[in-house]
Amino acid sequence: MDTQRQLQLNRITKLTTKSHCLESRSHSHTASSELQILTRFIINMARALLFDMAARWWSEKTVAVVTGSNKGLGQAIARELARNGVTVVSTARDTARGLAAVDSAVKEEPQLKEFLHFHQLDVTADQSVAELASYLQDTFGGVDILINNAAMQKFQSEVYEDAVDTIETNYFGTTRVTEKLLPLLRASPFGARIVMVSSQVGQMEVNIQSQTPLL
């Protein structure tokens, strides 16, 4: 541990110990409201310091995969992660559109070039998911963050095929990608992360109750 980190830790330990003493005193009937305010202030400061130390847990060695990131929220998430210095594998089912999204991001913000990579991914296709997994293993030796963002949004359609497509993509697609990439998620001091981008529309219990009077 470097000296600066050790000093910060010592400072936090002292602050926390002191604030705990103050807090126990502040619970007594004789404690003044000023003491309680000071106690809260010290506790909050210690918490803020701890948060600050833990806040930047990633580096350029942290690898994130974002599904369906040629447009919309996925594209924004991929860019934002890259802006923050995470190595991002942007993916799209259509290679041309996926590459165009990465190119336009790099054109607008050239500093993103070293952080943004691209690989084709159709979440409904076993072969495509397997190829992404091999690429991640061979190129980066694993992955730290998986953002399951890809989805169909045909929830207002009453056409049977649209329902099938939606479930194939949003449920089985997400499951397929997660199961395949799970063994590649690396152990790290902060833990690997899987983010499921979802929607209220997916809350079947709520929707069935509110939209189908017969049930």
Does the footprint of ligand NAP cover residue 86 (CB under 6 A)?
no
User: From the CB of 178, what's the least distance to ligand NAP, in Å?
Assistant: 13
User: From the CB of 179, what's the least distance to ligand NAP, in Å?
Assistant: 15
Residues near 168 by beta carbon (within 8 Å), at least 6 away in sequence: 124
User: From the CB of 3, what's the least distance to ligand NAP, in Å?
Assistant: 44
8 A C-beta contact, residue 87 and residue 79: no
Q: Which residue in 46, 58, 89, 93 binds ligand NAP (CB under 6 A)?
A: 93
Does the footprint of ligand NAP cover residue 35 (CB under 6 A)?
no
8 A C-beta contact, residue 208 and residue 178: no
Round to whole Å and give the CA distance between 82 and 132. 19
Round to whole Å and give the CA distance between 194 and 182. 9
| Secondary-structure percent of the chain, ordered helix, strand, coil, rounded to 5 | 60, 10, 30
Q: How far is CA 45 from CA 112, 134, 142, in A?
A: 34, 45, 37
C-alpha dihedral (123, 124, 126, 132), degrees to nearest 10: -20
Site for ligand NAP in 133-162 (CB under 6 A): 149-153
Does the footprint of ligand NAP cover residue 164 (CB under 6 A)?
no
Paired with 193 in beta bridges are 145
Place of tokens 């159709």: 122
Residue nearest to ligand NAP (CB): 72
Q: Which residue in 199, 203, 207, 209 binds ligand NAP (CB under 6 A)?
A: 199
Site for ligand NAP in 47-76 (CB under 6 A): 67-68, 70-74
| Number of residues located near ligand NAP, criterion CB under 6 A | 23
CB of 72 or CB of 85, closer to ligand NAP: 72
Does the footprint of ligand NAP cover residue 100 (CB under 6 A)?
no
From 41-49, 106-114, 120-128, 130-138, give the range in contact with ligand NAP by CB under 6 A.
120-128
Site of interaction with ligand NAP (CB under 6 A): 67-68, 70-74, 92-94, 121-124, 149-153, 169, 173, 197, 199
